[in-house]
Structure 1
Amino acid sequence: MIKKKQKYTVSAPGSLMLFGEHAVLHGKPALVSAIDKRITVELLTRDDDEINLHSTLSGTQSLQLQDIAPDLWRSLPKWHFVLASITFYQKHLPSGFDLKVTADYDAPIGLGSSAAVTVATLAALTLWLDKKGLMQQSLLRHTVQVIREVQGIASGADAAASVYGGVIAYHMPTLKVTKLANTYPLTVIYSGQKIATQSVLEHVSTLQQRHDQVFAHLYAAIAACTHEAKQAWQISDWQAVGELMNIHQGLHDALGVNTQKLVDLIFALRSDPKIFGAKISGAGMGDCVIGLGKADIKELIETISAKNSQAQLIPVQISSQGVAVIEN
C-alpha cells in the first residue's frame, strides 16, 4: 500500500544584529531584530529512499537515505546547514523526501540566512517526525547545536531572532530570549563585500590574544551599550538608541573589524538628518551597515554610489513574525 505523501511548509525570517556583536560570544547580551526577508522550506515526503534538495540559493542535489551520515555536510558546502539539519534527525527518518528552499534575498548579502534556513529546515523536519509540534525554545536549542556543528563557534543570536521574531534581547549562555516592545525604521546597506564570519572571528581572536585585558574592557563597554540601548528601545528613546549605535561603532573599530568601505557607508548614513545613528551589523569587515531611521533614499543612493559602486541599499523592515508554519 502506497503511503499518502505529507507536506510541511515553514518559513523563518532573516535577522540583523543591532547591538552586542562579538561581546555576545563572551556571555554578554545582544539585541537582534527579525526582518521581513524570509526563507521558506517545503518538505514533501516520499515512499522511497530518495532525498531531493532544491534551492533558489544553492541549486539541486540528490541523495539516498543511506547517504545521510554525520559528516556528509562537509563534502557539500552549498548545503552545509540543510544537510546538518537533516543529519540531526538522521536516526528518525522513515523515508526519503523532497525539500525545496526558497529565499526572499540573496545569501551573499547575509541577513542571517544561515540561521533562517536552519530554523526553517529543522522546523519542517520536526513537524514531520515529532507530532508534538513546534516548541520555540527546543527549536532554538536544536538550531544552535546544528550551527555550532557547522561553524564551530556561534552565539545563536540570529537563530533566536528567526525563531521568536521581533526585536529581542538575547543571552547566549542560557539561550534566554526577551522580546522588546516598539519598533522603528531601519536603513540597511550591503557593502558589496562578503567576509566569512569565521575569518572575522579568527582575526579578532588573534588581536585579543595580544591585548586580552583591553579586549575584556571593550566587551564590557559593548555590554553597557547593549544594556542602555535595551532600556532606551523599550521607552522609544530613539535619539539615545542612535547615540549608542555610534558609540558601539567606535568599539567595532577598536576590535579591528572596521574597513574604509564600511566607514564611508556609515558616515553617509549619519549625514542624513533622519538617521539617529549608524553602525556595522554583524561580525564586520564586510556585509551590512545599518542606520536607525529612514534615510532620504535618492540622496543616499547618490552618495554611496560615488564612494562604492558595489554597495546596495536593501529595503528591510523589522518583522514581528518569527518561524511560521504555512502548511502542515
Structure 2
Amino acid sequence: MKGNDHLITAKAPGKLYIAGEYAVVETGYPSIIVALDQFVTVEISRSKSFGSIVSKQYREDSVYWRRQGDQMILDNRDNTFNYIISAIHLTEEYAQILGRSMDVYDLRVNSDLDSPNGKKYGLGSSAAVTVATVKALCEFYQIPLTKSKLFKLSAIAHLDVQGNGSLGDIAASVYGGWIAYQSFDRGWLMAARMNQPLSDLVDQPWPDLKITQLTPPANLQLIIGWTGSPASTSHLVDKVAIAKSREKETYERFLADSKKCLNTLIDGFKQGSLEAIQNGIQRNREILNHLANFSKVQIETPTLKKMCDIAVQHAAAAKSSGAGGGDCGIVVIDKARDISEMIDRWRENGITRLSLRVHPVIDLDKEI
C-alpha cells in the first residue's frame, strides 16, 4: 500500500514535569507530568525522487563528544535530528512488518518548544519531535494507531538515541493533559527487542508501565517560570546515576521518600484538594534538594531557588521542573490569588513567566 499523496500534518505537545523527577527513571516509581499547548509539528508529503528532512529550528544543533582512550565518542543525545531519524527507522520497520511498501517523502519539522532565539525551555522537544514523526509516518503509511501503540513506538525510538531517562515526556506528548506516569522495565524492553518482532512488542502490556490521566482541582492555577539558562537532562541523569552507585542506602531512601510523596500527591488530584497538591509539591522540592546535596548535582540553581522562594512568599507551592540545573520551575497557586506582585519580583530577578497553558487530553481520532 502506497502512502498518501496529500500533505500530512501531525503535532505533539511539549511537557513539564510537575513532580517525581529522578526517581521516575527507576522502574515503577511514579511522577506527575503535564502536556503544554506548545507543539512540534511534522509535515510529510510524497517526493518524486530524493526525500528530505528539513527543520527550521534544528539546522545547527551542536554535537557533543568525549574521549574513550584515544577514541572520539559522539554523544548525540542532545541533537534533535537523531530522534527524527530514529523515529523514521523504527516506524518504517513497523510498517514493513505490516506489509506496507516503502516510499520517498519530504519531512518538515517546525517547533515552538524553544524560545525565538533558539534557547531551549526544557519542554521536551526531543520527545515531542519523536511522537510527531511517528504519528505523521503512521498516517502516511496508513497504519491505525492507538495511544498505547504510539507511546510504545515513540518510546523505543527515543530510547534508541537517549539510552536513559524515564520516557515520561513521551507519555505526556501522546496522552495530553495531566498524567501520573511510572516507567516500564527498560531492561526487559532491551531483552524483548532482541527476541520479539516489533509488532508483538507494541501489542503486549509492558511490565510496570502505568499511565493515568489526572484531573486538577478547578481552583488550581499552574504558572511556569523560565530561568533563561538551558540544562541537559541526559548529562544530569548520568551524574545522579554515578552518585547512586556510590551512596546506595541514601539513594534507596530518596526513592522511598519520592514514592510516598508522589502517591500522596496523586491522591490529592483524585480528591480535588489544592492544599494536598501544594503540600506534595513542597515536600517533593525538599526531597529533590536532599538528592542534590548527596549527589553533588545542582538541581535547584540560584535562579530557580529565587523563583521558588518568591512564589512561596506569595502563598504558592513551587519547585524546579524536570532535571533542574536551569530551564523551568513550576508554581501551583489558587486561581483566586493575585499574582502580579510575584511576577514583578520574578522579572526583577531575571525570571520570565512563560505564557503556556495545559494542553487538553488528546483524542487520537481528532488529532490524526
Pairwise same-fold verdict (TM > 0.5): yes
Residue matched to 1:205: 241
Residue 182 of structure 2 corresponds to residue 182 of structure 1: no
CA drift at 1:323: 7.0
Residue 263 of structure 2 corresponds to residue 247 of structure 1: no
Q: Compared with structure 1, are the counterparts of its residues 90 and 319 closer, same or farther at alpha carbon in structure 2 (3 Å cutoff)? A: closer
Residue matched to 1:113: 125
Q: Report 1:44-123 matches (<5 A).
A: 44-48=45-49, 50-59=50-59, 77-91=79-93, 92=96, 94-106=102-114, 108-123=120-135
DSSP 3-state at the match of 1:182: coil
DSSP 3-state at the match of 2:32: strand
Residue matched to 2:265: 229
The letter for the 1-side match of 2:128 is: A
Query: How far apart, CA to CA, are the structure 2 residues paired with 1:76 and 1:155?
Result: 16
DSSP 3-state at the match of 1:189: strand
My pick for the range that moved more, 231-240 or 93-102, is 93-102
DSSP 3-state at the match of 2:51: strand
The letter for the 1-side match of 2:112 is: D
Query: How far apart, CA to CA, are the structure 1 residues paired with 2:339 and 2:52?
Result: 42
Question: How many residue pairs align between the two structures?
Answer: 311
Query: How far apart, CA to CA, are the structure 2 residues paired with 1:56 and 1:301?
Result: 32
CA drift at 1:229: 0.6
Query: How far apart, CA to CA, are the structure 1 residues paired with 2:42 and 2:6?
Result: 14
Percent identity (aligned): 27
Query: How far apart, CA to CA, are the structure 1 residues paired with 2:329 and 2:60?
Result: 32
CA drift at 1:4: 7.1
The letter for the 2-side match of 1:80 is: N
Q: Compared with structure 1, are the counterparts of its residues 73 and 289 closer, same or farther at alpha carbon in structure 2 (3 Å cutoff)? A: closer
Residue matched to 1:64: none
Q: Is the 8 A contact 2:228 2:352 kept in 1?
A: yes
Q: Is the 8 A contact 2:37 2:356 kept in 1?
A: yes
DSSP 3-state at the match of 1:108: coil
Instruction: Decide which of 296, 301, 318 is 1:278's aligned counterpart.
Output: 318
CA drift at 1:21: 0.8
Q: Is the 8 A contact 1:141 1:175 kept in 2?
A: no
Deviations 1:3-57 (A, max 9, x none): 9723221111111111211111112111111111122111112132x22222232
Residue 186 of structure 2 corresponds to residue 142 of structure 1: no
Deviations 1:150-189 (A, max 9, x none): 1110211111111111111112123321112235321101
CA drift at 1:223: 0.9
My pick for the range that moved more, 220-229 or 92-101, is 92-101
Q: Compared with structure 1, are the counterparts of its residues 76 and 19 closer, same or farther at alpha carbon in structure 2 (3 Å cutoff)? A: closer
Q: Is the 8 A contact 1:25 1:155 kept in 2?
A: yes
With the length of structure 2 as denominator, give the TM-score of the two structures: 0.77
Deviations 1:181-207 (A, max 9, x none): 235321101111112111111221222
Q: Compared with structure 1, are the counterparts of its residues 10 and 53 closer, same or farther at alpha carbon in structure 2 (3 Å cutoff)? A: same
* Structure 2: tracts of 5 or more residues without a match: 62-73, 185-207, 293-298
My pick for the range that moved more, 292-301 or 23-32, is 292-301
Residue 300 of structure 2 corresponds to residue 288 of structure 1: no
CA drift at 1:213: 0.5
DSSP 3-state at the match of 2:120: helix
Query: How far apart, CA to CA, are the structure 2 residues paired with 1:88 and 1:56?
Result: 23
Residue matched to 1:31: 32
CA drift at 1:268: 1.4
DSSP 3-state at the match of 2:15: strand
Q: Compared with structure 1, are the counterparts of its residues 269 and 17 closer, same or farther at alpha carbon in structure 2 (3 Å cutoff)? A: same
Instruction: Decide which of 260, 263, 268 is 2:305's aligned counterpart.
Output: 263
Query: How far apart, CA to CA, are the structure 2 residues paired with 1:180 and 1:45?
Result: 39
Residue 316 of structure 2 corresponds to residue 316 of structure 1: no
DSSP 3-state at the match of 2:181: strand
* Structure 1: tracts of 5 or more residues without a match: 62-71
With the length of structure 1 as denominator, give the TM-score of the two structures: 0.86
CA drift at 1:103: 2.1
Q: Is the 8 A contact 2:122 2:231 kept in 1?
A: no
Q: Compared with structure 1, are the counterparts of its residues 214 and 84 closer, same or farther at alpha carbon in structure 2 (3 Å cutoff)? A: same
